[in-house]
Structure 1
Amino acid sequence: MKKIVLVAAGLMCGSAAFCQQTVSGKIKGGNGKTIYLYNDKSNTPEDSVALKADESFSMPVKGKEKAIYALILQDNDQPMLFTSGKENVVVNAEAATFPVAQSFKGDEDAKAMQAYQQAFQPLIGQAQQLNVEARGIRGDDEAAKEAFRKKAEAFGAEVTKTGVAFVEKHPHNLASVWLMLNELRNRVDPQQMEQLFTSLDKPVQQSQYGEAIGKYLHAARLSGIGVEADDFTQNDVNGKPVSLKSFRGKYVLVDFWASWCGPCRAENPNVVAAYNKYKDKNFTILGVSLDKDKNPWTHAIEKDGLAWTQVSDLKGWENSVAVQYGIQSIPANMLVGPDGKIVARNLRGDALEAKLEELLNK
């Protein structure tokens, strides 16, 4: 009778969406540190546990649908990502090289997520180095700014190349849609994004992350080249409401940036140069800041010499205009024509200068 009950329980577990899943393993060199478990919908840990004397840990994963989870080791801000599912996840890693695992067991989605991290780990190191370099560039060092801009462009191209290759190789896995949301959404044009998305398996497209990409692509179709830009209104630095439509009749570059964004600050000299060259030729700029605090925002405006209108709702990444236009990384921009239609997107450096020269020096 007990065997029959156990078999029945096994069948029920196999037919349900998920059984009780655990994530466990060992972190060599962890020295009793705490390891935290996060889900993708919260900034607070779902669970945490101190590493045992043998450097092992185990925690339940409580999600009821396929989702992305992260393990974060104390004093290390890089997450080890995995997906919830029917199979338990077992990781063995070293604290010095966390979040890349030396061995990793789980279902195919969880393994693909680890493969994604391994592919991007060198790029994460490069990004950290670039952010440090950007903070060290003096405001009057034009040669250093130009050199950094070229490095940043090369880095962005490498991120795109690595990400696209991964998605093409993993059309069956959630890791691909997660990568598209977090790495590629603001780096490839909507047409390429749509091509990548349609190449994914239907279950991946229909996942919660696939639905998010679907919404982004819908918004992109509404704000694509040649489409009239959706209007918005936000307050300027003096609390006065400013709308996009108030610039109708001019070319206006809607520039998404923030005081804390190193690449944005490094790009600002190019934007200032474009503004100074074309401001008397029916061109202006409307800055949209993703800052949360007013003082750093206004200080950066003054320090970088941004003489054009600036607006923000001081909600960071939740800035209503950024959400409206699906902005996931900055710097980002769109050039809107006198008729209110979008002419171009994400113009930087020489590309911005070339486009303005084409339009305004006819």
Structure 2
Amino acid sequence: MKENFDFLMPSVNFFGKGVIKKIGDRAKMLNMKKPLIVTGKILRGLENGPVTQTLASLDKVGISYAIYDSVEANPKIHNIKEAKAVYLDNHCDSIITVGGGSAHDCGKGVGIILTNGDDITKLAGIETLDNPLPPLMAVNTTAGTASELTRHCVITNEETKLKFVVVSWRNIPLVSFNDPMLMLDIPASMTAATGMDTFVQAIEPYVSTNRNEITDGQCIQAIKLVEESLREAVANGHNIEARTKMVEAEMLGGMAFNNADLGYVHAMAHQLGGQYDAPHGVCCAMLLPIVEKYNIVAAPERFAELAKIMGENTEGLSTRDAADLSIKAMRQMCDDVNIPRSIKSIGAKPADFEMMAENALKDGNAFSNPRKGTKEEIVRLFQEAYDQK
């Protein structure tokens, strides 16, 4: 555990029913004259949806805007270049992202290439940005990635089919908005996928080599909230209490991994998502029990504690046996929310595993994993995830 650490998060975070109405006032306070709204076509098309409500709040205070609404899942380099062109053509001065992780990552990517050079692939890594982004606010619509809170920008290179991450404190939005009422109509499958991303983002920082006591507390509470609410949110999307708890969990997990970092689950999931254009949360969930079982030997006490946090009875068990119960609980959560067990379900091919393992070990999330693996070991983990039944 680190003795000296910094702690990063947006300077202002609005949470709760109706906070979306505060967007216009906050944009005015930030002196935004013409923000670029970065979102997707489905969200923009929803009657009285989050985009409509965002625009209404801006209209109310007299702020004009331009819109880029072609964000794809797993945003690509061409998305951020297209959005940059809209930004420049309309003489924008700031960015507001509306959506889940894809919209937020795309918006961050636009900001990065506006101020730090057009080739974002050269900026992959940790703290590579020399210049600040334009003012950025994030309106979140899923209890999932926590990208509205974090310094991570994940983009897919469509030519190589590889995801890469630009990690910098400059990427952190100035203001985030989390209104649970925006999430009531999210389909069960998306609720499960994004919710499992929240679950993973609370577990990986808890066993990370960069953890600290502040992030530990956030992880513990986030895991408890997911255990209490994810199944209910998937079963009944209009359960406001469950939705609210999931947003709380997402925010806590985001704060935690923004500072303690992640591990091999995310490093490997990025390869699956980039190669097969698969949902990030599903990729993380399929890998979670397998990767964390591999990690147990590096931190058995932490995994034994995780079992308790997840509600398992560890009384009378050895530390190692108690640690195994944490993997059982992770698997049970995946099964309960209908996550497929095998990465065959997303089209994974064993022929790609060696290449993906090599790239996973280069991913920025790999360096804080509790166990240091070889390429051969990561290939075996991919194969185990492929063979899972």
For normalisation by structure 2, the TM-score amounts to: 0.28
Select the structure that is richer in strand. Answer: 1
Q: Which has the higher contact order (CA 8 A, sep 6+)?
A: 2
Select the structure that is richer in helix. Answer: 2
Structure number with greater Rg is 1
